[in-house]
Structure 1
Amino acid sequence: MKAVTEQDIRTSFINCSKGEAKRLPLPRDLDELPWDDLDFLGWRDLSAPGRSYIVTERAGELIGVTLRFPSQQRGFLHRSMCSLCLTTHPGNGVSLMTARKTGTAGREGNSVGLYICTDLACSLYVRGKKVPASGGRFKESLTLEEQVERTRTNLDAFLGKLYG
């Protein structure tokens, strides 16, 4: 992913109002992020537990999405797999994140959900730059490039479901 500015991020959101996008907190370390290793920019809202954001490029356009997830705690023995990067995590390492749909469907309260790494570090897990609490990922026969492409494809499919 190419580096983006605060203004780029704020104008990219498709499932919230311009006012909401203007007020949402952004990552403080935008200049220090490993942009070459990111398929999307994802962060949690530390001031609003249960709220996260994803910004990515889709069809040549920057797309931002607000997400909500439950704050309930699961036992450490419970394991789940992320639907984007296929990394497994114990406990609360994976959360069902829901995004309000765009347009009329979104105004009527319709949303789409997906199980995603709670810390939104999928890109780093796939590339081995970050290790999940479970100690590692499953060994795969796919190349790194194929795993990255699969993660991007999975995210693109999720974003495609958000449109009306």
Structure 2
Amino acid sequence: MEPLGENDIRASFVNCSKGEARRISLPRGLADLPWADLDFLGWRDPGAPDRGYLVAERGGELTGVTLRVPQGGPRALTKTTMCSLCLTGHGGSGVSLLAARKVGASGREGNTVGAYMCADLACPLYVRGKKVPLMSMRYKESLSLEERLERMRTHVDQFLDKVFQER
């Protein structure tokens, strides 16, 4: 991923108002992130643990979505769980259910789409082995690194496609 600036990130959000996008807490040390190892930018808001953000290229456009931990559900899973984006296994609270409000009329009606994701949204780093989950599941995949990265990108695209679906 090419390095992104604050204005590009804020302008990319599709499921919140411009005012909400201006108030998003961006990741600290934005310029120092390992951009070459990122297929998408994902982060959790340290000041609001129920919020997360994902910015990816979709159809040649930068697309950002706000994510929330749904209210009323468990915040931490106590068993080993797998991220639906990168298929990294985590123990404990390493995976969270994150929901994105849909765009357009569907989103204004309160419709959301959710997925179990790495709680810290660091999927590209897990796939590349740059980050290792605590209490991870131990398995060896036969896919190459490039194939695993392509699978993750496909899963991110599929999730974003659901955000854009009317129903």
TM (normalized to structure 2)? 0.93
Q: Which amino acid aligns with 1:93?
A: G
SS in 2 for 1:43: strand
Where structure 1 has 5 or more consecutive residues not aligned to the other structure, the ranges are: none
Distance 2:37 2:90 in 1: 21
The residue that corresponds to 2:91 in the other structure is 90
CA deviation digits over 1:23-54, x for unaligned, max 9?
11101211111111001111111111210000
Q: 1:72 aligns with which of 63, 66, 75?
A: 75
CA deviation digits over 1:114-137, x for unaligned, max 9?
110001110001000001112465
The residue that corresponds to 2:143 in the other structure is 142
The residue that corresponds to 1:63 in the other structure is 63
Distance 2:122 2:147 in 1: 18
What are the within-5 Å matches in structure 2 for residues 94-105 of structure 1? 94-105=95-106
Q: CA RMSD in A?
A: 1.2
Partners of 1:87 and 1:137 within 8 A in 2: no
Distance 2:75 2:53 in 1: 19
After TM superposition, the structure 1 stretch with the greater mean CA deviation from structure 2, 100-109 or 137-146, is 137-146
Partners of 2:77 and 2:95 within 8 A in 1: no
Distance 1:160 1:124 in 2: 23
TM (normalized to structure 1)? 0.95
Q: Which amino acid aligns with 1:72?
A: R
Partners of 2:86 and 2:123 within 8 A in 1: yes
Q: Aligned residue pairs: how many?
A: 162
Determine whether 1:81 maps to 2:82. yes
Distance 1:103 1:3 in 2: 29
The residue that corresponds to 1:151 in the other structure is 152
Partners of 2:91 and 2:137 within 8 A in 1: no
Partners of 1:125 and 1:131 within 8 A in 2: yes
Q: Which amino acid aligns with 1:79?
A: T
CA deviation digits over 1:83-102, x for unaligned, max 9?
01100111110011100000
The residue that corresponds to 1:9 in the other structure is 9
The residue that corresponds to 1:120 in the other structure is 121
Partners of 1:126 and 1:147 within 8 A in 2: yes
TM-fit CA distance, 1:69: 1.1
Where structure 2 has 5 or more consecutive residues not aligned to the other structure, the ranges are: none
Q: Between the two proteins, what is the percent identity of the paired residues?
A: 63
The residue that corresponds to 1:34 in the other structure is 34
TM-fit CA distance, 1:74: 3.3
